[in-house]
Amino acid sequence: MMVKFIHKLASPKYFYHLSGKLLPWLMAMCLLFFLLGLVQGLIYAPVDYQQGHSYRIMFIHVPSAWMSLMIYIIMATAGAIFLIWKIKLAAIIASSSATIGAAFTFIALVTGALWGKPMWGTYWAWDARLTSELILLFLYLGYIALEEAIDDPRSASKACAVLVLVGVVNIPIIHYSVEWWYTLHQGASVSKLDTPSIHISMLIPLLLMTLACKCYYALTILMQARNKILWQEQNTHWVRALITENQSKG
């Protein structure tokens, strides 16, 4: 039953139709969560005892950093699935994620710098956390460049899958860097199990913004994947029917 559903989902045509139905919902949820998160985070959340208002950058910095890791893990998983089972959809998921992952990594780095300047006293420090996150950005950019450089889509997907799998070792390094080495960057607040180190009034906007970012990723990856599917399947009947049918609607 499950296997049957996965096989059906993996068919580009079915995926295209299903994702089309999801898009408006994801768009609405994304906007709603961003709106709630921003209002809570920028207006209602109290000031921090140490950092005053400046800690509000956290509400965009931390979700972006989480997304940068999560998207990479998804890409690596999709890459492995593609290498082993040769499922076309897995390759599309991986390559559709790359630019979004790069965007979130970039946002995490820039907002981190803008937070670091007033609090630490510097925009940038070559500590283990910041450096490994920068390497992550280069991995994303390397992936995009490699995909562009290889003309044959199958070999491109293969090479990119290998690259993304090799880079996976960077993920635990980013996550644990603040524990393994002395860094300027502070430790984790939310994943710490013993004592809650973030007050509930600040945790709620953080989680809302995280949900918003997840919806954004779901939305954009589907949009991107749909574009790629249309292009790859352009010689099939269903794409032809879809495009010519939509002609009148513009």
| Footprint (CB under 8 A) of other proteins, residues 70-109 | 80, 83-85, 99-100, 103, 106-107
Which of the residues 132 through 161 are near other proteins (CB under 8 A)? none
CB of 119 or CB of 146, closer to other proteins: 119
Stretch that binds other proteins, among 3-11, 16-24, 137-145, 189-197 (CB under 8 A): 189-197
Of residues 202, 208, 211, 218, which one binds other proteins by CB under 8 A? 202
CB 188 within 8 A of CB 100: no
- Cα 155–Cα 132–Cα 94 angle in degrees, nearest 5: 30
User: How many Cα atoms occupy the beta-carbon half-sphere of 159 within 13 Å?
Assistant: 15
CB of 8 or CB of 53, closer to other proteins: 53
Of residues 8, 17, 154, 199, which one binds other proteins by CB under 8 A? 199
CB 13 within 8 A of CB 233: yes
Which of the residues 39 through 68 are near other proteins (CB under 8 A)? 42-43, 46-58, 60-61, 64
State yes or no: residue 21 binds other proteins (CB under 8 A): no
Gap between the Cα atoms of 214 and 217, Å rounded: 5
Could you identify the residue written with the tokens 């939509």?
246
CB 198 within 8 A of CB 189: yes
